[in-house]
Structure 1
Amino acid sequence: MGISGIDLDLVDGSLQGEETESVAGRNVKVLVIGLDGATLDIIRPLAEAGRLPTFRRFMEEGTWGVLQSTVPPVTPPAWASFMTGKNPGKHGVFDMICVGADKEVLWPNATWVQGKTLWDLIGERGMRVGVIDIPMTFPPTPVNGYMVAGMFTPSQESEFTYPATLQTDLLKEIGSYPMERELVGSFAAGDILGGLRSVCDHTEKRKQAALYLLRKYDVDFFAVVFRGPDVIQHYGFRYTDEEYRRERPHETAMYHKMIDQYYEVLDGVVAELLDAVGDGTTAVIMSDHGAGPVKRCFHVNKWLHNEGFLALKPWPSVATLRLHVRWAAIRAALDKLGLAAVGRALPARLGDVRLPFPRLRRDRTQIVNWSRTRAFANVVSSPIKITINTPSLGKRGKQVGREERERLRREIIEGLRSLRDPATGEPVISQVWVPEDIYTGPLAHKAPDITFLTTDHKFRCQVLPYARALITEPDEERLGMHRMEGVLMMRGPAIRSGFELAEAQIVDLAPTVLHLLEMEIPSDMDGAVLTGALREEYAARHPERWSVAKEEPAGEADTAREVFSQEERRRIKRDLGELGYLG
């Protein structure tokens, strides 16, 4: 039978137990609403001003506070920690990219995440799950219920649901199901208004999908993620920058409220989802990290080059350079001249104009002289990590012994801590870690040698070493970037009312959800049950139960593999670059 049948065998990839629209959503025990990149810096003042009534009610009737992200606060490791309750040393996800067994670069996908997820554990207990749009779930995996894969799904032509028959059912019900390309494409082309439309359409389609599935199929646990906050903030925080506002007054006048306005849209979305579940449901609103504006840029590999850690090939051997006329730059120039209307009238495809100049090789790794390089910041992905160049990195490896490696780590860390912004005199780097400080587990050896965060997260780190200075003003896009401080709000029969939670980590959510479902918690989870959020009478009646989990030997848990075609990898790289993730 088709997807709407009753009592179908999950071995055949079908859903079971369809409920009527008036019943199914009311049986959800735990509802998780993920708002990618959401921050209390925006939610709290808007809620207090009465502009976010749903969030305000949630804070008054439940428990809320800051949710600390992973180190670093990057999408793949953060969501992997949410779904496993473990640190990256156990689940194996450290960044936007990873290197496979044969040294090739792999882009984010579900095979990176090692060990059992929250929905695996819930399903093993015979409870049913619904999972929609959570990053790091493509390709979708079998669950006791259904899954719609999230960020990094290549296209609507990809198989992005489990069971597979759910895909056409979903498309029949809500029409199109836009992916990441549709979410960021207009913004990247400089079409801000088009970008806003795309984000709102993306949000609306996710809401429609969530409500349709909530009302149709009976599940115990339901989770849905909205990517909109992250994208809006990447492109919208520029309008909080005074210099940007002065330089582009017409553009700023139109768009400076777009982040606040989008949160008002989200407030309505959350209200509809809460209406679809019963009073007995425990609802959780959370984000994987926070966000904020960028004030300055720190060119990490230029610093490493200046300090003698990184060697470059002579400029002539770098070979080619191409000038790409950016649509955002065209609009900015016209705005300065008081011709913003002209910029809005020009076709967006002007952003694709390319002039035939010599071209810098696209593979950034080719500008590095690896035989003479001792350390480098990732030349492909987020450059807030530094790696010592060793033989384990393949042909690039330089023979660096253990003692020299430790000496290099100490020398680099001391240099980072002493670095000052010449414009203000303040430290550029606020925190620096080596892997053993923050990661434990069988995959901790995959971590980079040094991870750091900049002061107040206001420096965007960039990787190309040919910068005019170590510290510069942001580029014309002034993309917002991530912060450690995400959002957590909880409300339900077991949750305290009007209580601000002092400390919560993203790894705490998995054990807390399992506890709310009255399940045993595996002992290898790094998170803790958020007992401070629970009513005393509930906590007294429901003591925590932890089960002994089998520890995996070091090096035997890594199953990360490539799942994308060459064209899909190219699209993912482009999308991540346009959001500012690739330095």
Structure 2
Amino acid sequence: MSKLLIIGIDGGTWDVLNPAIEQGCMPFLEGLMKDSRSGVLNSTVPAITPTAWSTFQTGVSPAANNIFSFSYLNRQTKKQHFSTTSTMQKTIWEILSDSGLKVSVVNLPMTYPPREINGYMVTGVNTPSEDSDFTWPKELKAEILEKFPDYRIFTLENMLRDFSGYYIEKITNKLTEIISQRLEVAKFVMKKQEHDVFMLHFQANDILQHALWPLLDKTCKDFDEKWQKFIFEKFYAKLDACIKELNQTFAENIKGKDFKCLIASDHGFEHHEARFNLGSWLVETGYTKLPEKKLSLKKRISKSLKVGRILKRFFKEQAVNNLEKKLKVRSEPIDYAQSRALAIGKGSEGFLYCFDMTDRQKQELREKLLDIDLPDPAEGKLFEKVLTASELYKTDIPEDFPDFFLIPKSGFTVTGNIKKGQPLFSEVLKQEDLHLGKHSPEGIFVLAHAEESENGQERSIYDIAPTVLEILGIELPDYFQGTPLTRKASGSGSEENISPKQNAETNEEDEEKIKQRLANLGYM
């Protein structure tokens, strides 16, 4: 039985890694690929953090994990709740632990709250804050914060605060420091026991590509070879050095035994051109109703004094929004009783809930959506597909899943924003938006030290969980939906009839923290 080191590169794409290798900035990764099975790793639908990394860990579909985004709408209460491990199927970390193997995982998204494993867990994105119990066992948290007092978990709030704006050197330097610290934390955890499996996840790559994508993609009008070179030599060279050092440290940890190294990403990246404000469209077409009520005194005072217009001279728009919310002079209420459809979230994916609509009415809504033009009608329609959950996943569909998943053309995203009097399309602008790059379905994988090398494969993120278990000699559960990378692909990602777990209660204090962070970033 071989040992296994797993490295997650969030948003990793060959569109960036190949040029970085060609420019001599990632020699270790280049060497790993010479005796590997590697290629494109297709993501889940949608290709976003919560769905992809939960499937990565469980081998089943987003529907089977009851996770389609960072949050979901309770159809009965009309309240939003947040996706956590409470609804996920059994993870590979638990399966390996049940077999007596020693396992540790550091910084992986969708691991909060941490589950008990035969080793150590440090949770990643979707953790409310460093005040939360973000480790297994709980005692590990105090050890990490004592040794690394400035340790910070990426949250949607601090991503916005620290990385918005087109500040190239600042962003690159800060994220380079963060991956160096992640490596040191991983080495600290790794030395606590001899491992059969160890995973470290690098989130910083995703943030850098969101913020600075035009400088990395030759197809973008703002592409600049000098800045690309700077980012490659600063960040990607350091990432390569971290991968190398982690391999060396793992080899020492397992005392020179044979091991394989699996590198994978959750999705790829592409240029982000514009957002479509689906919430506004639903209001304009009458599917979503806003309450017809008089403005509050505070709101009337705010409008008469032009609070937002004055403050925006001095603060970023997001800070103004937060201030206005705290003063209770800004809101986007929905009349749920009168609304027939609702787009939740303010992120980048199109999720649509329908209320009290017949099948025929839903089909009419789908047809209207498919008929929406791009900003330049000559370029065609906005949506490539508008699909139901049943059309996406061949499994039982959780009650609180959306009725429709909207798949836009490349370069466009969809939000639930309601911006009355504003154009339906919002251009993505430098200095004003963190997401100059957007997710694409095509991620990466490298299985190094493989018995048979084969590059240029096209596989699915569903194939990762069975690959991990097969390498460790563990029998594959019959409900897994992928095929190990060591075998020929066969229907990877096909769905099985697995009943999703019921939603578990989430700590109210933690949920409030997550809710505030999503609201601060504009996801709610």
Q: Structure 2-normalised TM-score?
A: 0.83
Provide the residue aligned with 2:472 in structure 1.
517
1:191–1:472 Cα change, 3 Å: closer
Structure 2 match to 1:572: 517
Q: For the Cα contact (< 8 Å) 2:15–2:217, is it kept in 1?
A: no
Q: Distance in 1 between matches of 2:110 and 2:7?
A: 16
- Indicate which of 211, 219, 231 corresponds to 1:235: 211
Distance 1:183 1:357, change over 3 A: closer
Offset of 1:127 from its aligned partner? 0.8
SS of the residue 1:297 aligns to: strand
**SS of equivalent residue, structure 1 residue 501:** strand
What does the per-residue CA deviation read over 1:127-160, in whole Å, with 9 as the maximum and x for residues that have no partner? Answer: 1111111111122221111111111323333322
Distance 2:220 2:18 in 1: 25
**In the alignment, which residue of structure 2 is the partner of 1:481?**
438
Question: By how many angstroms is 1:81 displaced?
Answer: 0.6
Query: Is contact 2:82–2:511 with CA below 8 Å preserved after alignment?
Result: no
Alignment of 1:245-260 (within 5 A): 259-260=231-232
Q: CA deviation at 1:83?
A: 0.6
Task: Please tell me the residue identity of whatever aligns with 2:362.
Answer: R
1:132-211 aligned within 5 A: 132-181=106-155, 182-188=158-164, 193-211=169-187
Question: 2:238 & 2:32 partners in 1: Cα distance?
Answer: 16
CA distances 1:319-354 after superposition (whole Å, capped 9, x unpaired)? 566528899x97xxxxxxxxxxxxxxxxx9999578
2:392 to 434, 438, 463: 438
The aligned residue for residue 543 of structure 1 is none
Unaligned runs of 5+ in 2: 252-256, 490-495
Residue deviations 1:1-28 (CA, integer Å, cap 9, x gap): xxxxxxxxxxxxxxxxxxxxxxxxxx97
Distance 1:555 1:47, change over 3 A: closer
Whichever residue aligns with residue 519 of structure 1, its letter is I
Tell whether 2:392 aligns with 1:412.
Answer: no
Correspondence for 2:308: 323
Who is 2:274 aligned against? 296
Choose from 305, 316, 319 the match for 2:283. 305
* 1:500 aligned onto 2:480: no
Confirm or deny that 1:262 pairs with 2:238: no
Instruction: Summarize the Cα distance change of 1:92–1:275 in structure 2 as closer, same or farther, 3 Å threshold.
Output: same
TM-score with structure 1 length normalisation?
Answer: 0.76
* SS across alignment from 2:509: coil
Residues in 2 aligned to 1:306 and 1:102: alpha-carbon distance in whole angstroms: 25
Identity of aligned residues (%): 25
Q: Which residue of 2 aligns with 1:449?
A: 403
CA distance in 2 between counterparts of 1:325 and 1:179 reads: 34
TM-fit CA distance, 1:125: 0.8
Letter in 2 for 1:312: L
Cα distance change of structure 1 residues 489 and 560 upon mapping to structure 2, 3 Å threshold: farther
Deviation at 1:80, TM superposition (A): 0.8
Offset, 1:316: 5.4
Q: Which amino acid aligns with 2:354?
A: I
> What is the number of equivalent residue pairs in this alignment?
497
Whole-Å separation in 1 of the counterparts to 2:84 and 2:262: 25
| Structure 1 residue 570 displacement after superposition | 4.9
Q: Which residue of 1 aligns with 2:244?
A: 271
Residue identity in the other structure for 2:423: A
Aligned CA distance change for structure 1 residues 300 and 194 (closer, same or farther; 3 Å) = same
Match of 2:68 among 94, 109, 129: 94
Residue 254 (structure 2) aligns with: none
- Cα displacement (A) at 1:491: 0.8
Q: 1:383 to 1:255 in 2, by over 3 A?
A: same
Question: Matched residues in 2 for 1:242 and 1:98: separation?
Answer: 36
CA separation of 1:162/1:283 partners in 2, compared to 1, >3 Å: closer, same or farther?
same
Name the structure 1 match of 2:35. Answer: 61
Distance 1:385 1:443 in 2: 15
Q: Secondary structure at the match of 1:277?
A: helix
C-alpha separation in 2, matches of 1:530 and 1:147: 25
Q: Is residue 8 of structure 2 the alignment partner of residue 34 of structure 1? A: yes
Alignment of 1:251-400 (within 5 A): 259-260=231-232, 261-278=234-251, 280-314=258-292, 317=295, 319=299, 323=308, 363-364=331-332, 366=333, 368-380=334-346, 382-389=348-355, 399-400=356-357
1:83-123 deviation per Cα after TM superposition (whole angstroms, max 9, x unaligned): 1100012111111112458554223432232x211111001
d(CA) in 2 for partners of 1:305, 1:203: 43
Deviation at 1:505, TM superposition (A): 1.4
User: Aligned equivalents of 1:296 and 1:381: distance in 2?
Assistant: 12
Task: Considering Cα pairs closer than 8 Å and 6+ residues apart, tell me whether 1 or 2 has the greater RCO.
Answer: 2
* 8 Å Cα contact 1:324/1:354 also seen in 2: no
Is the contact made by 1:66 and 1:486 (CA closer than 8 Å) also made in structure 2? yes
Structure 1, unaligned runs of 5 or more: 1-26, 331-347, 390-398, 535-549
**AA in 2 matched with 1:474:** V
Contact 1:110 1:138 in 2 (8 A): yes
Which residue identity is paired with 1:408? Answer: Q
Deviation digits for residues 393-419 of structure 1, max 9, x if unmatched?
A: xxxxxx43xxx1x21332222222222
Question: 2:25 maps to what in 1?
Answer: 51
Distance in 2 between residues matched to 1:222 and 1:274, nearest whole Å: 10
Task: State the Cα deviation string for residues 456-487 of structure 1 (Å, max 9, x = none).
Answer: 14345452242532334224534222111111
* 2:274–2:412 contact (8 Å) kept in structure 1: yes
Amino acid at match of 1:45: P
Deviations, residues 332-385 of structure 1 (Å, cap 9, x unaligned): xxxxxxxxxxxxxxxx99995789989886553x1x333332112115555411
Structure 1 residues 326 and 295: CA distance shift in structure 2, 3 A: farther
| Cα distance in structure 2, aligned partners of 1:143 and 1:563 | 24
Match of 2:380 among 419, 422, 426: 426
* C-alpha RMSD of the superposition: 3.6
The one-letter amino acid of 1:46's match is: A
Structure 1: how far apart are the matches of 2:342 and 2:73? 15
User: In 2 relative to 1, CA 241–43 (structure 1 residues): closer, same or farther, beyond 3 Å?
Assistant: closer
Task: Check conservation: 2:178, 2:204, Cα contact below 8 A.
Answer: yes
In 1: Cα distance, 2:206 partner to 2:246 partner:
20
Aligned to 1:564, the other structure's residue is in SS state: helix
1:88–1:94 contact (8 Å) kept in structure 2: yes
Partners of 2:225 and 2:473 lie apart in 1 by 51
Matched residue SS, 2:384:
strand
Distance 1:555 1:151, change over 3 A: closer
- Find the aligned partners of 1:460 and 1:380 in 2 and give their Cα distance: 8
- The letter for the 1-side match of 2:456 is E
